Amino acid sequence: MTLSMVIKKKDGNYSTEPPTEPGLEAVVAPAVYDVLLSSSGCNFVADTTDVLIGTITCSFVTEGALGYTAISSLYTADCSSPLSSGDVSIDTTATGFVAVRGSGVQYSSPYTVSFPIANRAALADYQIAFCVKTSVMDDNLMVYDFTGQKIRLNINLNEDFTSASDLTTELFNGIAVAEQEQSVSYTVGIKRCDADGNAVGDDTVLAVGETFFLCVEGSEDRVVVNNISYLTAEGQANGASLPIIAVDGSGGLEGTLISNTFVYGYGENQVIIATRLPVAFFVSAQTVVFSGVANIYVDSVDPGRVLNSQLSRGMQVASEESASFSMDIQVVGMDDASSASAIKTTAAMFFVAAVAALIV
Protein backbone atom coordinates (compact mmCIF):
# COMPACT_ATOMS: atom_id res chain seq x y z
CA MET A 1 0.00 0.00 0.00
CA THR A 2 1.32 3.43 -0.96
CA LEU A 3 0.48 6.45 1.17
CA SER A 4 0.40 9.95 -0.27
CA MET A 5 -0.40 13.43 0.94
CA VAL A 6 -2.86 15.85 -0.63
CA ILE A 7 -1.34 19.33 -0.44
CA LYS A 8 -3.10 22.55 -1.39
CA LYS A 9 -0.88 24.97 -3.32
CA LYS A 10 -1.00 28.73 -3.17
CA ASP A 11 -2.83 28.87 -6.51
CA GLY A 12 -5.70 26.85 -5.06
CA ASN A 13 -4.91 23.64 -6.94
CA TYR A 14 -4.20 20.31 -5.24
CA SER A 15 -1.27 17.94 -5.57
CA THR A 16 -0.39 14.51 -4.24
CA GLU A 17 3.34 15.22 -4.49
CA PRO A 18 5.26 15.93 -1.25
CA PRO A 19 6.59 19.48 -0.87
CA THR A 20 10.13 20.06 -2.09
CA GLU A 21 10.92 23.26 -0.24
CA PRO A 22 13.71 22.83 2.36
CA GLY A 23 12.37 21.85 5.75
CA LEU A 24 8.97 20.79 4.36
CA GLU A 25 9.75 17.13 3.59
CA ALA A 26 6.59 15.10 3.99
CA VAL A 27 6.69 12.00 6.14
CA VAL A 28 4.13 9.82 4.35
CA ALA A 29 4.90 6.50 6.06
CA PRO A 30 6.63 5.23 9.21
CA ALA A 31 10.02 3.57 8.99
CA VAL A 32 10.22 -0.08 7.99
CA TYR A 33 11.99 -2.48 10.36
CA ASP A 34 13.72 -5.37 8.63
CA VAL A 35 16.67 -7.73 9.11
CA LEU A 36 17.99 -10.14 6.48
CA LEU A 37 21.09 -12.28 6.08
CA SER A 38 23.32 -10.45 3.61
CA SER A 39 24.53 -11.94 0.33
CA SER A 40 27.87 -12.82 1.98
CA GLY A 41 25.96 -14.92 4.52
CA CYS A 42 27.92 -16.79 7.21
CA ASN A 43 31.56 -17.83 6.98
CA PHE A 44 33.90 -19.95 9.08
CA VAL A 45 37.55 -19.19 9.83
CA ALA A 46 39.61 -21.86 11.61
CA ASP A 47 41.55 -20.81 14.67
CA THR A 48 45.32 -21.29 14.96
CA THR A 49 45.35 -21.49 18.76
CA ASP A 50 44.40 -24.31 21.11
CA VAL A 51 41.51 -22.37 22.59
CA LEU A 52 39.03 -22.30 19.74
CA ILE A 53 38.12 -24.51 16.82
CA GLY A 54 37.37 -21.32 14.95
CA THR A 55 34.82 -18.56 14.52
CA ILE A 56 31.65 -18.33 12.45
CA THR A 57 30.77 -14.81 11.32
CA CYS A 58 27.38 -13.83 9.91
CA SER A 59 26.55 -10.56 8.19
CA PHE A 60 23.09 -8.99 8.06
CA VAL A 61 21.38 -6.05 6.41
CA THR A 62 19.13 -4.12 8.80
CA GLU A 63 16.60 -1.29 8.57
CA GLY A 64 14.72 0.75 11.13
CA ALA A 65 13.86 4.20 12.47
CA LEU A 66 16.11 6.73 14.19
CA GLY A 67 17.73 5.18 17.25
CA TYR A 68 17.10 1.55 16.28
CA THR A 69 19.54 -1.22 17.20
CA ALA A 70 20.25 -4.86 16.33
CA ILE A 71 20.94 -7.76 18.68
CA SER A 72 21.58 -11.51 18.34
CA SER A 73 20.94 -14.44 20.68
CA LEU A 74 21.70 -18.16 20.55
CA TYR A 75 19.21 -21.01 20.48
CA THR A 76 19.38 -24.78 20.25
CA ALA A 77 19.74 -26.42 16.82
CA ASP A 78 15.96 -26.62 16.28
CA CYS A 79 15.48 -22.99 17.38
CA SER A 80 13.09 -24.09 20.13
CA SER A 81 14.85 -22.85 23.29
CA PRO A 82 17.80 -20.67 24.39
CA LEU A 83 21.20 -22.34 24.09
CA SER A 84 22.60 -23.23 27.50
CA SER A 85 25.88 -24.78 26.35
CA GLY A 86 28.98 -22.61 26.56
CA ASP A 87 30.60 -24.30 23.55
CA VAL A 88 29.32 -21.51 21.29
CA SER A 89 29.38 -17.86 22.39
CA ILE A 90 28.55 -14.46 20.86
CA ASP A 91 31.14 -11.81 20.05
CA THR A 92 29.67 -8.36 19.32
CA THR A 93 32.86 -6.32 19.64
CA ALA A 94 32.97 -5.50 15.93
CA THR A 95 29.41 -5.43 14.59
CA GLY A 96 30.00 -2.52 12.23
CA PHE A 97 26.55 -1.22 13.10
CA VAL A 98 26.22 2.47 12.18
CA ALA A 99 22.69 3.53 11.27
CA VAL A 100 22.68 5.91 8.29
CA ARG A 101 19.65 7.89 7.26
CA GLY A 102 18.23 7.17 3.84
CA SER A 103 15.02 8.73 2.54
CA GLY A 104 12.50 10.28 4.89
CA VAL A 105 12.58 8.62 8.31
CA GLN A 106 14.29 5.44 7.10
CA TYR A 107 17.68 4.33 8.48
CA SER A 108 19.79 1.30 7.60
CA SER A 109 23.02 -0.37 8.61
CA PRO A 110 25.03 -3.54 8.10
CA TYR A 111 25.35 -5.73 11.17
CA THR A 112 27.97 -8.41 11.75
CA VAL A 113 28.11 -10.85 14.62
CA SER A 114 30.66 -13.61 15.36
CA PHE A 115 30.34 -16.93 17.16
CA PRO A 116 33.58 -18.33 18.60
CA ILE A 117 33.45 -22.14 18.97
CA ALA A 118 35.35 -23.76 21.83
CA ASN A 119 37.61 -26.76 21.22
CA ARG A 120 35.55 -28.95 23.53
CA ALA A 121 32.59 -28.70 21.15
CA ALA A 122 34.37 -31.06 18.72
CA LEU A 123 34.76 -33.75 21.36
CA ALA A 124 31.04 -34.28 21.77
CA ASP A 125 29.94 -34.55 18.16
CA TYR A 126 31.19 -34.32 14.59
CA GLN A 127 28.63 -31.67 13.80
CA ILE A 128 28.20 -28.37 15.59
CA ALA A 129 24.66 -27.08 15.25
CA PHE A 130 22.91 -24.07 16.75
CA CYS A 131 20.41 -21.38 15.86
CA VAL A 132 20.87 -17.61 15.79
CA LYS A 133 18.04 -15.14 16.29
CA THR A 134 18.85 -11.60 15.12
CA SER A 135 16.37 -8.84 15.95
CA VAL A 136 15.97 -5.14 15.22
CA MET A 137 14.55 -2.96 18.01
CA ASP A 138 13.43 0.63 18.33
CA ASP A 139 14.94 3.11 20.80
CA ASN A 140 12.63 1.71 23.50
CA LEU A 141 14.05 -1.79 22.94
CA MET A 142 10.79 -3.04 21.44
CA VAL A 143 11.44 -5.80 18.85
CA TYR A 144 9.89 -5.05 15.45
CA ASP A 145 11.38 -7.75 13.25
CA PHE A 146 13.70 -10.75 13.54
CA THR A 147 15.20 -13.56 11.51
CA GLY A 148 16.45 -16.98 12.50
CA GLN A 149 19.36 -18.91 11.02
CA LYS A 150 20.01 -22.61 11.62
CA ILE A 151 23.78 -23.04 11.44
CA ARG A 152 25.61 -26.36 11.03
CA LEU A 153 29.34 -26.92 10.86
CA ASN A 154 30.65 -30.40 10.03
CA ILE A 155 33.89 -31.79 11.46
CA ASN A 156 35.85 -34.59 9.76
CA LEU A 157 37.37 -37.52 11.61
CA ASN A 158 40.60 -35.62 12.25
CA GLU A 159 38.62 -32.88 13.96
CA ASP A 160 39.60 -30.20 11.50
CA PHE A 161 37.69 -28.48 8.73
CA THR A 162 38.25 -29.10 5.05
CA SER A 163 36.61 -26.08 3.46
CA ALA A 164 33.97 -23.44 3.81
CA SER A 165 31.49 -25.86 2.26
CA ASP A 166 31.34 -27.60 5.66
CA LEU A 167 29.28 -24.64 6.91
CA THR A 168 25.59 -24.53 6.03
CA THR A 169 22.84 -22.11 7.04
CA GLU A 170 19.08 -22.41 6.79
CA LEU A 171 16.52 -19.64 7.21
CA PHE A 172 14.08 -20.31 10.03
CA ASN A 173 11.62 -17.51 10.69
CA GLY A 174 9.37 -19.64 12.84
CA ILE A 175 11.84 -18.99 15.66
CA ALA A 176 10.45 -18.19 19.06
CA VAL A 177 6.98 -17.16 17.91
CA ALA A 178 5.61 -18.70 21.09
CA GLU A 179 8.21 -16.80 23.09
CA GLN A 180 7.16 -13.54 21.45
CA GLU A 181 3.52 -14.23 22.30
CA GLN A 182 4.25 -15.02 25.92
CA SER A 183 6.64 -12.15 26.55
CA VAL A 184 4.38 -9.36 25.31
CA SER A 185 2.94 -7.88 28.48
CA TYR A 186 1.69 -4.42 29.25
CA THR A 187 1.07 -2.52 32.47
CA VAL A 188 -0.66 0.55 33.82
CA GLY A 189 0.52 3.16 36.27
CA ILE A 190 -1.36 5.33 38.75
CA LYS A 191 -0.63 8.93 39.77
CA ARG A 192 -2.18 11.94 41.47
CA CYS A 193 -3.56 14.32 38.85
CA ASP A 194 -6.00 17.19 38.39
CA ALA A 195 -9.39 17.17 36.68
CA ASP A 196 -7.70 17.54 33.29
CA GLY A 197 -5.37 14.60 33.82
CA ASN A 198 -2.25 16.64 34.49
CA ALA A 199 0.09 15.17 37.09
CA VAL A 200 0.30 16.79 40.53
CA GLY A 201 2.80 16.12 43.27
CA ASP A 202 2.49 12.71 44.91
CA ASP A 203 3.62 14.30 48.18
CA THR A 204 0.42 16.38 48.45
CA VAL A 205 -1.51 15.19 51.53
CA LEU A 206 -5.26 14.67 51.69
CA ALA A 207 -7.55 16.28 54.27
CA VAL A 208 -11.05 15.29 55.29
CA GLY A 209 -13.70 16.29 52.73
CA GLU A 210 -11.16 16.88 50.00
CA THR A 211 -11.90 15.76 46.46
CA PHE A 212 -8.93 14.31 44.67
CA PHE A 213 -8.17 12.78 41.30
CA LEU A 214 -6.27 9.65 40.34
CA CYS A 215 -5.09 8.93 36.80
CA VAL A 216 -4.62 5.35 35.61
CA GLU A 217 -2.51 5.33 32.46
CA GLY A 218 -1.26 2.64 30.10
CA SER A 219 2.49 2.02 30.03
CA GLU A 220 2.58 2.77 26.29
CA ASP A 221 0.45 4.89 23.97
CA ARG A 222 -1.03 1.75 22.40
CA VAL A 223 -2.34 0.52 25.76
CA VAL A 224 -6.01 1.45 26.15
CA VAL A 225 -7.80 1.31 29.49
CA ASN A 226 -11.11 -0.36 28.77
CA ASN A 227 -12.43 -0.01 32.32
CA ILE A 228 -11.49 -0.26 35.99
CA SER A 229 -12.37 -3.63 37.51
CA TYR A 230 -11.94 -2.49 41.11
CA LEU A 231 -10.21 0.09 43.27
CA THR A 232 -9.89 -0.06 47.05
CA ALA A 233 -8.53 2.26 49.73
CA GLU A 234 -6.90 0.77 52.84
CA GLY A 235 -5.83 2.82 55.86
CA GLN A 236 -2.55 1.43 57.14
CA ALA A 237 -2.85 2.76 60.71
CA ASN A 238 -6.50 2.25 61.64
CA GLY A 239 -7.59 -0.41 59.15
CA ALA A 240 -10.24 1.75 57.47
CA SER A 241 -11.29 0.17 54.18
CA LEU A 242 -13.40 1.34 51.25
CA PRO A 243 -14.23 -0.27 47.86
CA ILE A 244 -14.12 2.90 45.76
CA ILE A 245 -14.91 0.77 42.71
CA ALA A 246 -16.40 -2.60 43.67
CA VAL A 247 -15.57 -5.70 41.64
CA ASP A 248 -18.39 -7.04 39.50
CA GLY A 249 -18.51 -10.75 38.75
CA SER A 250 -15.18 -12.37 37.88
CA GLY A 251 -13.31 -9.09 37.69
CA GLY A 252 -13.17 -8.93 33.91
CA LEU A 253 -16.03 -6.44 33.81
CA GLU A 254 -16.36 -2.77 34.72
CA GLY A 255 -16.65 -2.37 38.47
CA THR A 256 -19.46 -0.61 40.31
CA LEU A 257 -18.77 2.96 41.47
CA ILE A 258 -19.63 4.18 44.96
CA SER A 259 -21.94 7.22 45.10
CA ASN A 260 -19.23 9.89 45.35
CA THR A 261 -16.92 8.53 42.63
CA PHE A 262 -16.81 9.40 38.95
CA VAL A 263 -14.63 7.88 36.22
CA TYR A 264 -14.13 9.34 32.79
CA GLY A 265 -11.87 8.54 29.86
CA TYR A 266 -12.70 4.85 29.33
CA GLY A 267 -11.44 3.70 25.96
CA GLU A 268 -8.43 6.02 26.14
CA ASN A 269 -4.81 5.58 27.22
CA GLN A 270 -5.60 7.37 30.48
CA VAL A 271 -8.71 7.42 32.67
CA ILE A 272 -9.39 9.90 35.46
CA ILE A 273 -11.02 8.89 38.74
CA ALA A 274 -12.58 11.62 40.88
CA THR A 275 -13.48 10.60 44.41
CA ARG A 276 -13.52 11.54 48.10
CA LEU A 277 -12.69 9.49 51.21
CA PRO A 278 -15.04 9.23 54.21
CA VAL A 279 -14.17 10.60 57.65
CA ALA A 280 -13.01 7.20 58.95
CA PHE A 281 -9.74 7.61 57.06
CA PHE A 282 -8.90 10.90 58.82
CA VAL A 283 -9.14 9.96 62.50
CA SER A 284 -5.36 10.34 62.58
CA ALA A 285 -2.56 10.95 60.13
CA GLN A 286 -1.75 7.79 58.20
CA THR A 287 -0.86 6.26 54.85
CA VAL A 288 -3.70 5.12 52.64
CA VAL A 289 -2.93 2.51 49.99
CA PHE A 290 -4.97 2.73 46.80
CA SER A 291 -4.83 -0.46 44.75
CA GLY A 292 -6.85 -1.89 41.93
CA VAL A 293 -7.00 -3.60 38.57
CA ALA A 294 -7.60 -2.12 35.12
CA ASN A 295 -8.91 -4.13 32.19
CA ILE A 296 -6.86 -3.11 29.17
CA TYR A 297 -6.46 -3.93 25.53
CA VAL A 298 -3.71 -3.15 23.05
CA ASP A 299 -4.07 -1.44 19.69
CA SER A 300 -2.64 -3.74 17.02
CA VAL A 301 -0.48 -0.99 15.54
CA ASP A 302 1.19 1.87 17.35
CA PRO A 303 0.76 5.11 15.34
CA GLY A 304 3.90 5.87 13.36
CA ARG A 305 5.34 2.36 13.58
CA VAL A 306 5.19 -0.84 11.55
CA LEU A 307 5.07 -4.30 13.12
CA ASN A 308 5.84 -7.55 11.36
CA SER A 309 3.08 -10.15 11.23
CA GLN A 310 4.62 -12.43 13.85
CA LEU A 311 4.93 -9.66 16.43
CA SER A 312 1.42 -8.47 15.59
CA ARG A 313 0.12 -11.93 16.43
CA GLY A 314 1.96 -11.71 19.72
CA MET A 315 0.30 -8.41 20.46
CA GLN A 316 -3.12 -9.90 19.67
CA VAL A 317 -2.50 -12.60 22.27
CA ALA A 318 -1.90 -9.85 24.83
CA SER A 319 -4.66 -7.60 23.48
CA GLU A 320 -7.11 -8.32 26.35
CA GLU A 321 -5.68 -8.58 29.81
CA SER A 322 -5.78 -7.14 33.31
CA ALA A 323 -3.10 -4.97 34.89
CA SER A 324 -2.81 -4.10 38.57
CA PHE A 325 -1.78 -0.74 40.01
CA SER A 326 -1.11 0.71 43.46
CA MET A 327 0.03 3.89 45.17
CA ASP A 328 0.32 5.37 48.67
CA ILE A 329 -1.20 8.71 49.68
CA GLN A 330 -0.68 10.45 53.02
CA VAL A 331 -3.71 11.86 54.86
CA VAL A 332 -3.81 14.36 57.72
CA GLY A 333 -5.79 13.79 60.90
CA MET A 334 -8.72 15.93 62.07
CA ASP A 335 -6.82 17.40 65.03
CA ASP A 336 -7.25 20.92 63.70
CA ALA A 337 -11.03 21.11 63.28
CA SER A 338 -11.06 24.66 61.89
CA SER A 339 -8.48 23.88 59.21
CA ALA A 340 -10.23 20.65 58.30
CA SER A 341 -13.59 22.45 58.05
CA ALA A 342 -12.16 25.12 55.78
CA ILE A 343 -10.56 22.53 53.54
CA LYS A 344 -13.75 20.50 53.46
CA THR A 345 -15.90 23.46 52.41
CA THR A 346 -13.55 24.51 49.62
CA ALA A 347 -13.10 20.95 48.39
CA ALA A 348 -16.84 20.29 48.35
CA MET A 349 -17.44 23.32 46.15
CA PHE A 350 -14.69 22.18 43.79
CA PHE A 351 -16.13 18.66 43.65
CA VAL A 352 -19.57 19.96 42.65
CA ALA A 353 -17.97 22.08 39.93
CA ALA A 354 -16.00 19.11 38.64
CA VAL A 355 -19.10 16.91 38.50
CA ALA A 356 -21.03 19.67 36.73
CA ALA A 357 -18.30 19.90 34.15
CA LEU A 358 -18.59 16.17 33.52
CA ILE A 359 -22.36 16.29 33.10
CA VAL A 360 -22.33 19.18 30.64
Q: Kindly report, residue by residue over 284-307, the tens digit of the pLDDT.
A: 999 999 999 998 887 654 443 333
Q: Are strands 69-75 and 127-137 parallel, antiparallel or unpaired?
A: antiparallel
Q: What is the pLDDT of residue 174?
A: 64
DSSP string, 289-335: EEEEEEEEEE-SS-TT----HHHHHHHHHTSEEEEEEEEEEEE--SS
Q: How far apart are CA 18 and CA 8, in angstroms?
A: 11
Question: What is the tens place of the pLDDT at every residue in 7-42?
Answer: 334 444 434 344 444 444 443 467 888 999 999 999
Q: Are 255 and 247 in contact (CB under 8 A)?
A: yes
Q: What is the pLDDT of residue 127?
A: 77
pTM: 0.44
Helix, strand and coil in the chain, % to nearest 5: 15, 45, 45
Q: Are 32 and 42 in contact (CB under 8 A)?
A: no
Q: What is the pLDDT of residue 286?
A: 93
Q: What is the pLDDT of residue 300?
A: 52
Q: What is the pLDDT of residue 22?
A: 47
Q: Are 209 and 334 in contact (CB under 8 A)?
A: no
What domains can be seen in the chain, in order of their start residue? 26-175 (2.60.40), 188-359 (2.60.40)
Closest listed residue to residue 322, CA positions, set 232, 251, 222, 247: 251
Helix (H) or strand (E) segment spanning residue 153: strand 143-154
Phi/psi region, residue 313 (left: phi>0; alpha: psi -120 to 50; beta: rest), is alpha
Q: Which residues in the chain come in under a pLDDT of 70? A: 1-29, 48, 121-126, 155-165, 174-185, 202, 249-252, 259, 299-320, 335-360
DSSP assignment letter at 121: H
Q: What is the pLDDT of residue 72?
A: 92
